[in-house]
Amino acid sequence: IGATVIDSLDTLYLMELKEEFQEAKAWVEENFHLNVSGEASLFEVNIRYIGGLLSAFYLTGEEVFRIKAIRLGEKLLPAFNTPTGIPKGVVSFKSGSWGWATAGSSSILAEFGSLHLEFLHLTELSGNQVFAEKVRNIRKVLRKIEKPFGLYPNFLSPVSGNWVQHHVSVGGLGDSFYEYLIKSWLMSGKTDMEAKNMYYEALEAIETYLLNVSPGGLTYIAEWRGGILDHKMGHLACFSGGMIALGAEDAKEEKRAHYRELAAQITKTCHESYARSDTKLGPEAFWFNSGREAVATQLSESYYILRPEVVESYMYLWRQTHNPIYREWGWEVVLVSLGEILSDRSRFLRDPRRVQ
């Protein structure tokens, strides 16, 4: 309960929506109770609740946000009670058990690999080393395990510590693992050499085995299934343009210009997925095959659910290059989205079935 409230705290504060921020803060103080039962996603609780609370604390210094973040972090710790220390994706707040982590189950790279930004801050703010120890162990396991061609598959058994299947994606199931590596390097004041090395090694493997250029000249990152490529990108993978731009500055000097150009090309491809759709909003996934490029080929992928990844890459590229095209592309998304909202409202108002 309240994920949207907490996830929006920093946005409300930065936008100077003071009344709404105070209302949200009061809700956190009075109604966000941690004595709950049931199960929850470790990943979602971390990035939305803990991440939101930490951001609000650093922006405001309000102690309530720090205390709630630490207490919630403590409730997530039982998820790490597995033979490998790799957490299961779901934590039971009632029992704190991990009994559902059976031998055939798996944890998802993007989920257990996207904890260390928040958990390192939980240690910093609490003085309790357990949070940092949990995420350092995740890296230890990932460094030790054999990786096919240097690639990180998306599913790992928290019981055996082995990959469950060899599916590699920079989109869903893998995405934020890579993002958290480069951001950990930056967050550490560029002292976390482990995160830096893991990021650039992973990026080199991605470029070697997943990166492709279509016949029409569009650069994209394919998905890898045991050596066979699916020539598609998910909308989620479109964050990678911004990520590669962010990491270009600290790459080897001879690679910096290359990474900036690669970031621009991937972002251009993701823009094409918008430009080539009927609504001018990008699909959930788009393919490069049979002469069709950067378009959804299946009805099950022909939808848009307010994903921010493409616009996120526009923002990073604008900040790095100040090329006005990225602001123009971002504004196009605003205008199209607003048009869809107004169109929906108009259809609703004209609907004779509407209750007057």
Q: What is the pLDDT of residues 271-317, one digit of tens each?
A: 999 999 999 999 999 999 988 999 999 999 999 999 999 999 999 99
- Note whether residue 209 is domain-resident: yes
- Note whether residue 246 is domain-resident: yes
Domain count, the chain: 1
What is the rounded end-to-end Cα distance, in angstroms, of the chain? 31
- Note whether residue 111 is domain-resident: no
**Does residue 332 have an active-site annotation?**
no
- Note whether residue 333 is domain-resident: yes
Q: Three-state SS for 222?
A: coil
Q: Which of 77-81, 91-95, 111-115, 349-353 has the lowest mean pLDDT?
A: 349-353
**Does residue 44 have an active-site annotation?**
yes
| 51, 97, 239, 283, 284 from 307: Cα distances, Å | 18, 33, 10, 10, 9
Sign (positive/negative) of CA torsion 83, 87, 90, 95? positive
Query: Strand 232-234 and strand 285-289: pairing?
Result: antiparallel
Residue 86 DSSP symbol: P
Global pTM value: 0.93
User: Of 175, 179, 192, 223, which is the active-site residue?
Assistant: 175
- Note whether residue 336 is domain-resident: yes
Give the per-residue pLDDT at 353.
52
- Note whether residue 33 is domain-resident: no
Q: Three-state SS for 140?
A: helix
Place of tokens 């928290």: 158
Query: 228 lies in which domain range?
Result: 198-350
pLDDT score of 101 more than 90: no
User: Of 118, 179, 223, 284, which is the active-site residue?
Assistant: 284
How sure is the predictor about 105, in pLDDT bands with cuts at 50, 70 and 90? confident
Angle at 46 between CA 248 and CA 201, to 5 degrees: 30
- Note whether residue 251 is domain-resident: yes
Place of tokens 């409730």: 75
pLDDT score of 241 more than 60: yes
Q: What are phi and psi of 317, to 5 degrees?
A: -65, -35
| 183, 306, 341, 353 from 348: Cα distances, Å | 43, 20, 11, 9
Give the per-residue pLDDT at 339.
85
- Note whether residue 272 is domain-resident: yes
Cβ atoms of 247 and 300 within 8 Å: the answer is no
Q: Three-state SS for 231?
A: coil
3-state helix vs strand vs coil in the chain, percent to 5: 60, 10, 30
| 151, 275, 287 from 301: Cα distances, Å | 26, 16, 10
